[in-house]
Amino acid sequence: MSQTLLIVESPTKAKTIGKYLGPEYVVKASVGHVRDLPANELGIAIEGDHFEPCYVPLKGKGKIISELKKAARKADRILLAPDPDREGEAIAWHIAHELGESKPIQRVLFHEVTKSAILKALQEPLAIDINKVNAQQSRRILDRMVGYKISPLLWKTVRRGLSAGRVQSVAVRLVCDREAEIKAFTPVEYWSITTLLAGAVPPPFEARLHQIDGEKAEVGDQETADKIVADLQNAAFKISKIEQKERQRRPTPPFITSKLQQEAARKLGFSAKKTMMVAQQLYEGIELGTAGAVGLITYMRTDSVRVADSAVAECRDCILAQFGKEYLPEKLPVYQNKNASQDAHEAIRPTSVGYLPQDIESYLNRDQFRLYSLIWRRFVASQMNPARYYQTTVSIMAGERYQLRAVGRRQLFDGFLIVYEEGRDNNGEDKAEDTELPFLSEAEILNLDKILPRQHFTQPPPRFTESTLVKELEEKGIGRPSTYASIMSTIQERGYVEIQEKRFYPTDLGVLVTDLLKKTFPDILNVSFTALMEADLDRVEEGGRDWQALLADFYRPFSALLDTALLTMRDAKKAGEEVTDEICEKCGTNMVVKWGRNGRFLACPNYPECKNTRDLGSAGESGGDAELPGDAGRCPECGSPLQLRNGRYGRFVSCSTYPECKYTSSVGTGVACPQDGCDGELVEKKSRKGKLFYACNRYPQCTFAIWDKPYPMACPRCEHPFLVEKKSRGGADKVLRCPQKGCNYETKVPVVAGKKIDS
């Protein structure tokens, strides 16, 4: 009996596929790439305008390669089935090179791990797509040249171990540029004036000042607001116009990779990396009892919103059965890709909507169930009828000068919203008014109940979350679906950014490296240039651009900049050693600024005779160590002042005479541990991923811990012993909220001497 060797990337996928095929097939896994550029050298032979990558077997892959070769010798034909993208095509090409050309080798493509998709792909084998391979090679060589040529310059001028990346460095720049915008932002005061009005039919409703003397109402200070309030208190309120329109809200398309990462971050709190890891598990196959291993979703790296006709037909049957014919559109919804090159794969969808999330929940872990439910609901909603509602806009004249406006809406039909509603990055601040207005009629006279003037200040652009940074990269054409997750992880692992309260902050190191690269390699950190390079890589994949010419066009100016950089790049090591006014308490010398693993710090210049160091404030001020106030600011062992310091694992309190006195403790919150029988205090901690949390200082005897920052204020409603800090529902400010389940008490963060406590 003839035998076919089928090689995939993942052992899990190999196991799933093996159950679908007969004994004439042997399914093996390459476990990802088998060859790559060497780890400790450039690995690219450059001769004129020609670039020859020098691939070597990956460390630790010798046994796998031997097993694949052994299986290939026994097989009559060989089929390569890595993932259906550039990276998968390159893996297939590398495997083919390792196996040699003694037997015919073909490529098979499938976008879902189901029996029907596998059998269909096996009947339609293809040749390896060399254009896809060359597009992947181009990206790999570009990234290697940038990383291996620029990183040593950073070692020389900043410190060893740093790295630069063609895409990662641009992502860091976006974070740094946003931080610069925030610091340069000047708030502008403005006021809103809302009235509470009552008509003939209750209840009262809100109407906001819209126009003054026919022009848009712009109230810039309290004096103007007070004058308007005085005028309104003496005005007659009369409805001048009522407009009613029926509107529709259409469903969003099924997921592409970037949108899945954004929505999983918003709704599930997943990082991009976690989203892709869990999606990979769903794609490769989950054991569903007697049904065996089943691939639950289609391939999760895609830019396309296209859906197979068979999947649409099955989904329509499901909608009809689950929700009724009023939810099923007569015409199929049509969704457009940004460009034709993105149509290679389907959108991310369930392989069968018949696998209802609630029916298979027992076979999935919590993360798998939540992500599968998200994908299932988004896809089903995308094939449903729009939601319909009446929007009512009421214009009200207050005297002759002031026009107020009230907007409300009444839902007529929920449509796709019965299944799914897309999340928002701004916590719904721009969401249309959902309040239904009472019955009103034109020329009706209204009674004034209350006037609510409110002071506001314009807000700076928000810092990026993982969701909004992925969105920014996608909109600017930087990176591709397969790279977003690694970009998010890499820029954190390199210490260029850190996440606080789910938002990206640049570190001192990130700002320094970005500034150096912007000045020395302006194109590498240019957003438009990087986007054009991505477009060129797409053209290579489509066969419209020669990959060697692309590399040459990049390398010629890049090489010239490298030569210049060797002579002109600012040496931050020397420039950073600026003398400060801070005096070393050990030897009396003026301390200097140095760079270390955790950023800048103050050090005694008499090292190694004097090893005194001190933290430097993140804003660059000397004296970053803060002496703690009051009686709590004294070391319990020697009586010297205590200081707040920043270490590898976050803030901590230490004696100012260190290393003579080695007393240290965690940063306390003043909140007693609520665990029964425990007399500990909740203190500030930092997880391995750099996220702040608050735990009992009696650990490991007491394991109580929470993510939200606790405040030593008892809830006046339910008497819970402390409140926790949360974002307000609008997302602009912080509030204190009761953590007790069922208690909805909320208050503003207390203000002392014009400053929010601990903010």
Q: Count CB-CB contacts under 10 A for residue 217.
A: 19
Among 299, 226, 293, 223, which residue's Cα sits nearest to residue 256?
Answer: 299
- 579: which strand partners? 592
Residue 192: strand, helix, or coil:
strand
From residue 489, give the alpha-carbon distance in Å to each of 160, 213, 538. Answer: 20, 54, 24
Distance, in Å, from the CA atom of 446 to the CA atom of 424, rounded to the nearest integer, reads 36
Residue 45, φ and ψ in degrees, nearest 5: -85, 120
Distance, in Å, from the CA atom of 70 to the CA atom of 361, rounded to the nearest integer, reads 40
- 726: which strand partners? 735
Distance, in Å, from the CA atom of 708 to the CA atom of 692, rounded to the nearest integer, reads 9
Name residue, tokens 């918003």.
Answer: 266
Q: Count CB-CB contacts under 10 A for residue 141.
A: 24
Which residues, 6+ apart, have CB-to-CB distance to 371 below 8 Å? 264, 268, 270, 275, 278, 279, 282
- Tell me if 395 sits within 8 A of 208, measured CB to CB: no
Distance, in Å, from the CA atom of 153 to the CA atom of 286, rounded to the nearest integer, reads 47
Q: Count CB-CB contacts under 10 A for residue 100.
A: 11
Query: What tokens appear for 639 in the block?
Result: 């009586």
Q: State the Cα torsion 59-5-285-264 to the nearest 10°.
A: 50
Distance, in Å, from the CA atom of 81 to the CA atom of 85, rounded to the nearest integer, reads 11
Distance, in Å, from the CA atom of 583 to the CA atom of 575, rounded to the nearest integer, reads 20
How many residues make up the chain in this entry? 759
- Tell me if 257 sits within 8 A of 304, measured CB to CB: no
Name residue, tokens 């950190």.
Answer: 525
- Tell me if 139 sits within 8 A of 113, measured CB to CB: no
In the residue annotation, 299 being an active-site residue is answered as yes
Q: Helices marked H in 438-578 — which ranges? A: 466-475, 484-493, 508-520, 527-542, 547-568, 572-576
Dihedral sign computed on CA atoms, order 268, 269, 272, 274: negative
DSSP 51-108: EEE--EEPTT-HHHHHHHHHHHHH-SEEEE---SSHHHHHHHHHHHHHH-SSS-EEE-
Distance, in Å, from the CA atom of 172 to the CA atom of 177, rounded to the nearest integer, reads 9
Amino acid in position 100: G
Over 209-251, what HEC string results? EEEECCEECCECCHHHHHHHHHHHHCCCEEEEEEEEEEEEECC
Distance, in Å, from the CA atom of 683 to the CA atom of 720, rounded to the nearest integer, reads 18
- 397: which strand partners? 238, 403
Beta strands 626-627 and 642-647, pairing class: antiparallel
From residue 35, give the alpha-carbon distance in Å to each of 10, 84, 95, 133, 521. Answer: 16, 18, 8, 13, 30
Distance, in Å, from the CA atom of 113 to the CA atom of 108, rounded to the nearest integer, reads 13
- 748: which strand partners? 735
> Which of 299, 389, 402, 496 is labelled catalytic?
299
- 229: which strand partners? none
Indicate which residues carry an active-site annotation: 299
